[in-house]
Amino acid sequence: MEKSEATTIEIGETSRESKGKTPLLAEVEQTARTAGSYRRGVAIFDLILRVSAATSALAATITMGTTEQTLPFFTQFFQFQASYDDLPAFTFFVIALSIVTGYLVLSVPFSVVCIAQPLAAVPRLLLIVCDTLTVTLATAAASSSAAIVYLAHNGNADANWLAICQQFGDFCQRVSGAVVASFVAVALLIFMVALSALALRKR
């Protein structure tokens, strides 16, 4: 907050001073001020998107991590039970989406710095590179789980893999919900990267 005030005062001073300066310098300052307010708008939108993406990644993690279904019948030897850690792809999903959620929460302060100091390039550059890595991680988790969910729903006659969703219907529905939530997070992340690139542009 204090940093934000300092920036405002500084802008006010340069505005007053610019009258006595060469036209070129005044023009450069004018451009910087316009770029600043434009980038601040982008940074605020980035923060909103970041919080939304963190929320949907958290929802996906929790939904997948708590999914468990026990069938009401059992044989002499074992009870039929399905949970996310039966399938390696779903375990990867939970781990990857936890990392994504953690990163998004930890990156909020950097996003706030971008709002306070809209012309600073280093935090924005850091965010765009880390966001790209996060997009890839989230996409990998979402799509590998989607492949397995598809298999669980439809099976595959050629490989002789049977659909398990007839038995574990509730399990499949919750897992599908988690995958959808993770794809929403991916879409928000892609939008964030595009927005950061726009904000980095030299105007």
Residue 186 is a binding residue for a second copy (CB under 8 A): yes
Q: How far is the CB of 58 from a second copy (least distance, A)?
A: 21
Q: How far is the CB of 1 from a second copy (least distance, A)?
A: 26
Tokens 């799509």, residue? 143
Distance of CA 23 to the CA centre of its chain: 44
Residue 37 is a binding residue for a second copy (CB under 8 A): no
Q: Are 125 and 107 contacting, i.e. CB atoms less than 8 angstroms apart?
A: no
Report how far residue 195's alpha carbon sits from residue 193's, in angstroms, rounded to the nearest whole number: 5
Cβ neighbour number for residue 4 with a 10 Å cutoff: 12
Of the candidate residues 26, 99, 112, 140, the single one contacting a second copy (CB under 8 A): 140
The contacts of residue 87 (CB under 8 Å, 6+ apart) are 148
Of the candidate residues 14, 18, 143, 173, the single one contacting a second copy (CB under 8 A): 143
Residue 150 is a binding residue for a second copy (CB under 8 A): yes
Amino acid of residue 57: A
Residue 114 is a binding residue for a second copy (CB under 8 A): no
The contacts of residue 96 (CB under 8 Å, 6+ apart) are 137, 138, 140, 141
Residue 181 is a binding residue for a second copy (CB under 8 A): no
Tell me the two tokens of residue 9: 């005062």
Residue 142 is a binding residue for a second copy (CB under 8 A): yes
Residue 141 is a binding residue for a second copy (CB under 8 A): yes
Residue 104 is a binding residue for a second copy (CB under 8 A): no
Q: Are 127 and 110 contacting, i.e. CB atoms less than 8 angstroms apart?
A: yes
Residue 201 is a binding residue for a second copy (CB under 8 A): yes
Interface residue list for a second copy (CB under 8 A): 22, 24-25, 28, 82, 86-89, 119, 121, 125, 128-129, 132-133, 135-136, 139-148, 150-152, 156, 158-162, 164, 186, 190, 193-194, 196-198, 200-202
